Structure 1
Amino acid sequence: MSEDLSENKMMQFLDWTYDKAINGVAGLDSASELAESYMNKGGSKLDMANSLIRWQNTKAGTSGFVAGLFGALIMPVTIPANISSVMYVQIRMIASIAHIGGHDLKDDRVKTLIYACLAGNAAKDILKDIGIVVGTKLTTNAIKNISGKTIIAINQKVGFRLVTKFGEKGAINLGKAVPLVGGVVGASFDSITTNTIGNIARNTFVNL
C-alpha cells in the first residue's frame, strides 16, 4: 500500500465500499436486507436500530469475518484488512439504520450523511466548516437542500478526517506491518467507535 493514503484514495474506497454495502456481495446481506431482518421482528424503529447497533459492535470487534472476502475482491486502492473490514461493517450498519428510518440509500445526500456519520463526533464540525449549521444533533434536515458542489465538499472533508484518524491511531502502519496484532489491538477500539458511530447514525436517521 502507498505510504500516502490521500483523501481521493479514501473517497474511492468509501464509494467502492458503499456500493458493496447497499448492493450486497456473495455471502453477505445488503444494507437494506440487513435492515429488513430487524424490521421484520417488529417493535419501534428506535428498538430496531439499537438491536442492529449492538450486533454490529460484535462484528466490528471481530472484523476478520469479512477480511477474507475483501481480500478476494478487487478494491480501487489497497487498504489493510483490519481497516477495510471494519469500515465495511460501519458503512453497512449506518446505511441499514438509514433504511430503517425510511431514507433512500440511492440519494446522494443520504450517502453523504452516511459518510459524515463515519467521522463520529466530528461530523457536526465537518458540516459547520462547510457552512451548514446544525443543532444539538446531526439530522437529515441539515442537508435536505444542499447542492452537488456542497456534497462533494463534505465528502472531501470526511475523507480527510478519516485519513487523519487512521494516521493518529497508527492503524494503517500497524495493520500493514503486523496484521494479527493489529487486529487484536484494534478490536476494542473498533467496537467502541462502531458504537459511537451507530448512535450518531440512529440519532441522524431515525426520528426519536
Structure 2
Amino acid sequence: MSIQKLLDWIVNVGIQGFGVLPPAEKVAEDHLSNCGNDCEKAIDSIISWRTTYAATTGFVTGLGGLAALPLSIPASFASSYALAANTSAAIAFLRGYDIQSDQVRTFILLTLIGDSTTEIFKNAGINLGTKVTKSLISQVPGKVLIEINKKVGFRLITKAGEKGVINLMKLVPLAGGMVGAFFDGAFVNKCGNTAKNMFSKNDDNDNNIICVR
C-alpha cells in the first residue's frame, strides 16, 4: 500500500468509521447531546472518552478486519491512527469545519504528528502567526496539500517503524501490551488536544459553527 493510500485509509476510517468505530459526525452529535449541547464540554468529553478507549488492549481486536488489510504499518498502529483521526474529525465537525473537504482532511492528518506540525507548516509556507480558521484552511492550494500529505505520511511511517516499543512487546507480551496501551492512550489524547487547538472556534467570517447551535 502506498503512503497516499495509507493516508486515505486513515482519514476515511476516521471520518466514516470502521467496524466498532462510529462515524465522526455521530461521535460528535452523541457527545454534544450528552453534554447538553455545550460544544466545549462535548469536545473535552470526546478527548477523555477516546483516551480511555485507546488505553484498553481490546481496541485493536474490536476493530475487526485490520489484520486482513494490505496496510504498510502494523495493525496496532493503524488502529491508533484511525481512532485519533476519528477523534480529530469529530472535534473539527463540532467546530463547524467541512470534514469532507480535502483541506480539512489534510489538517485532520496533521493532528496525528504533534510537534512536527510546526515544521511542516513552515515548510509549506503557512504562517503560524495567523489564526487557523475555516477561511484560512480553505485557501490552502492543492499542491501544498499534496506536499503536506507526503510529509505527514513519512512521519507516520517512521513512527510505526520505531523499534523500542515493538521490540518490548515481542520480548515481554503482557508488559508490552500494557506499555502499548498506555502510549496509545497518550497518543490519542495528544492528537485530540492538538485538534482542539488547531480547529479554531472563532472565525469572524463564518458563523456556521455547531458549538453555538
TM-score range, shorter chain: 0.7 to 0.9
Bigger Rg, structure 1 or 2: 2
**Who is 2:94 aligned against?**
100
Cα root mean square deviation, aligned: 2.6
Following superposition, the deviation at residue 108 of structure 1 comes to 0.4
Q: Does 1:133 align with 2:152?
A: no
Q: Does 1:118 align with 2:148?
A: no
**Who is 1:201 aligned against?**
195
Give the Cα separation in 1 of the matches to 2:50 and 2:4. Answer: 23
**Who is 2:80 aligned against?**
86
Q: Does 1:152 align with 2:152?
A: no
1:63–1:153 Cα change, 3 Å = farther
List per-residue Cα deviations over 1:3-47 (Å, max 9, x = no partner): xxxxx7343223113222322334431111111101113243221
Give the Cα separation in 2 of the matches to 1:105 and 1:24. Answer: 13
**Who is 1:36 aligned against?**
29
2:47 partner amino acid: I
1:158–1:149 Cα change, 3 Å = same
Give the Cα separation in 2 of the matches to 1:141 and 1:171. Answer: 40
List per-residue Cα deviations over 1:145-189 (Å, max 9, x = no partner): 111111110011111112222334645566678765543222222
Alignment equivalent of 2:185, drawn from 177, 191, 195: 191
- Report how many residues are paired: 201
CA contact under 8 A between 2:19 and 2:64: conserved in structure 1?
Answer: no
Give the Cα separation in 2 of the matches to 1:138 and 1:196. Answer: 18
1:192–1:76 Cα change, 3 Å = same
List per-residue Cα deviations over 1:80-133 (Å, max 9, x = no partner): 232121111101000111111111111000000000111112212211111111
2:26 partner amino acid: E
**Who is 1:21 aligned against?**
14
Give the Cα separation in 2 of the matches to 1:169 and 1:123. Answer: 23
> Mean Cα displacement is larger for which, 160-169 or 88-97?
160-169
Task: Point out where structure 1 has 5 or more consecutive residues left out of the alignment.
Answer: 1-7
Give the Cα separation in 2 of the matches to 1:56 and 1:95. Answer: 13
1:184–1:64 Cα change, 3 Å = same
Give the Cα separation in 2 of the matches to 1:206 and 1:70. Answer: 34
Following superposition, the deviation at residue 65 of structure 1 comes to 1.8
Task: Point out where structure 2 has 5 or more consecutive residues left out of the alignment.
Answer: 203-213
CA contact under 8 A between 2:92 and 2:199: conserved in structure 1?
Answer: yes
> Mean Cα displacement is larger for which, 178-187 or 30-39?
178-187
Normalised to the residue count of structure 1, the TM-score between the two structures is 0.82
1:146–1:179 Cα change, 3 Å = farther
Give the Cα separation in 2 of the matches to 1:190 and 1:26. Answer: 19
1:154–1:184 Cα change, 3 Å = same
1:155–1:177 Cα change, 3 Å = farther
Following superposition, the deviation at residue 50 of structure 1 comes to 0.7
Normalised to the residue count of structure 2, the TM-score between the two structures is 0.81
1:100–1:167 Cα change, 3 Å = same
Give the Cα separation in 2 of the matches to 1:120 and 1:12. Answer: 21
> Mean Cα displacement is larger for which, 152-161 or 67-76?
67-76
